[in-house]
């Protein structure tokens, strides 16, 4: 196990280096000259030259790339161009609010979608099964903006059950008060596609030989689904959940923007609007690193779920 983990971590290095080089050249070639952005419209050549010297972008590209690599390793991307706040502090302070929403969301979505997928598979081919699939298709066709507007209107404005916006200093208050409606909205959006996908995984296992053998031995259908089928369907379910985690971190920007949650997604939107390159580059690099780490954790979970899986 240890040798496998070390080998995988070693294999991540060239991939990570490729991401670093790609991000570096994209921001240097496509992003334009940062000195002109920082100097503003009312500037002169001397001010621009001074800014270029301070940022180190007057150096050759290989020196700039080495500076960029040192920034990543030391977690020191300097300060935000728009606010002057340390980029490291921006990421650390925005990560907590995002995790407050995304971790409960991921747990609830997975449990509910798996339970519903097993229940629908138990009555597969029935009218209820077809109605659920139609409802999932309709739910997937509706934009998340519609969910946000309707849920805010009914649950926040009409019923006064949740606040429309805000964020506090207490974890409990943030989780159960301010995050409740965003989590509910994202559950309504995400359960439909997850249910359809997990139902497919379950039905693929239902037709396997071991299921027919269990039925021939007289094992109850519920036990077959909840014990035997679920354990074998867990591999693709884990893959789906773990692969979506980094995307959720950035993809929650609409929820964070509408509900004024000071998370990573909202920070990305603000950084793009302000052309705040240090923040964008830092988040891009660390999301790429998180994606590779989650892939490693996924492989480790495979063996935990199914001991027959050999990590080589």
CATH number, residue 292 = 1.10.3720.10
Residue 61's φ and ψ, nearest 5 degrees, are: -60, -35
**Long-range contacts of the stretch 143-152 (C-beta < 8 A, 24+):** 144/185, 144/189, 144/254, 144/255, 145/254, 147/185, 147/188, 147/189, 148/185, 148/254, 148/255, 148/258, 151/181, 151/184, 151/185, 151/188, 152/181, 152/258
Query: Are 35 and 168 within one domain?
Result: no
Query: Are 257 and 293 within one domain?
Result: yes
Q: State the pLDDT at residue 131.
A: 92
**Cα gap 62→8, rounded to integer Å:** 28
Residue 125 domain-assigned (yes or no):
yes
Residue 246 domain-assigned (yes or no):
yes
Query: Are 147 and 272 within one domain?
Result: yes
Alpha-carbon torsion 76, 95, 106, 172, what sign? positive
Query: Are 68 and 155 within one domain?
Result: no
How many domains, the chain? Answer: 2
Query: Are 294 and 233 within one domain?
Result: yes
Residue 51 domain-assigned (yes or no):
yes
Contact yes or no for 264/98 (Cβ under 8 A): yes
Query: Are 210 and 237 within one domain?
Result: yes
Residue 79 domain-assigned (yes or no):
no
Q: Which domain range does residue 13 map to?
A: 2-74
Three-state SS for 67-89 is HHHHHHHHCCCCECCCCCCEHHH
Task: Identify the residue whose tokens are 């001397």.
Answer: 46
Domain limit, last residue, from 74, 97, 132: 74
Residue 311's φ and ψ, nearest 5 degrees, are: -90, 110
Reading the block at residue 61, the tokens are 């590209």
Domain limit, last residue, from 51, 74, 97: 74
Query: Are 173 and 260 within one domain?
Result: yes
Query: Are 57 and 154 within one domain?
Result: no
Query: Are 148 and 296 within one domain?
Result: yes
SS3 160: coil
Mean pLDDT by 10 residues, the chain (312 residues): 83 90 82 68 74 75 86 85 85 90 92 91 86 91 89 89 88 91 92 92 87 87 85 88 79 82 87 83 88 88 76 68
Number of H helices and E strands in the chain, helices first, is 15, 0
Q: State the pLDDT at residue 134.
A: 92
> How far, CA to CA in Å, does 103 sit from each of 206, 222, 242?
30, 29, 12
DSSP letter for 175, please. I
Residue 144 domain-assigned (yes or no):
yes
Query: Are 137 and 233 within one domain?
Result: yes
Overall size of the chain counted in residues: 312
Residue 30 domain-assigned (yes or no):
yes
Residue 311 domain-assigned (yes or no):
no
Domain limit, last residue, from 49, 74, 99: 74
pTM of the model: 0.84
Task: Identify the residue whose tokens are 């995002």.
Answer: 98
pLDDT tens digits, 228-271:
888 888 888 998 888 888 777 766 778 888 898 998 888 888 88
Query: Are 243 and 115 within one domain?
Result: yes
Query: Are 224 and 96 within one domain?
Result: yes
CA proximity to 263, closest of 252, 273, 271, 274: 252
């Amino acid at each position: 196990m240890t040798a496998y983990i070390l080998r995988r971590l070693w294999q991540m290095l060239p991939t990570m280096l490729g991401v670093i080089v790609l991000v570096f050249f994209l921001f240097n070639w496509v992003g334009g000259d940062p000195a002109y952005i920082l100097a503003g419209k009312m500037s002169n050549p001397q001010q621009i030259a001074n800014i270029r010297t301070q940022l180190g972008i007057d150096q050759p590209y290989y020196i700039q790339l080495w500076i960029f690599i040192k920034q990543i390793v030391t977690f020191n991307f300097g300060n935000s161009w728009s606010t002057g706040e340390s980029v490291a502090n921006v990421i650390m302070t925005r990560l907590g609010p995002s995790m407050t929403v995304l971790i409960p969301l991921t747990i609830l979505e997975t449990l509910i979608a798996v339970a519903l997928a097993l229940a629908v598979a138990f009555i597969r081919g029935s009218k209820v099964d077809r109605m659920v699939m139609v409802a999932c298709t309709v739910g997937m066709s509706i934009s998340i903006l519609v969910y946000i507007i309707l849920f805010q209107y009914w649950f926040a404005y009409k019923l006064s059950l949740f606040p429309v916006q805000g964020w506090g200093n207490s974890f409990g208050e943030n989780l159960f008060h301010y995050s409740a409606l965003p989590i509910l909205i994202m559950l309504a959006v995400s359960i439909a596609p997850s249910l359809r996908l997990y139902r497919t995984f379950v039905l693929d296992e239902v037709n396997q030989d071991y299921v027919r053998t269990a039925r021939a031995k007289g094992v109850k259908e519920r036990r077959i689904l909840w014990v035997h089928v679920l354990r074998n369907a867990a591999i693709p379910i884990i893959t789906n959940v773990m692969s979506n985690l980094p995307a959720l971190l950035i993809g929650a920007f609409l929820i964070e923007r509408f509900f004024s949650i000071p998370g990573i997604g909202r920070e990305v939107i603000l950084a793009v609007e302000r052309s705040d390159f240090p923040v964008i580059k830092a988040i891009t690099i660390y999301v790429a690193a998180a994606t590779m780490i989650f892939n490693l954790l996924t492989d480790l979970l495979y063996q935990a779920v199914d001991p027959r899986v050999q990590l080589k």
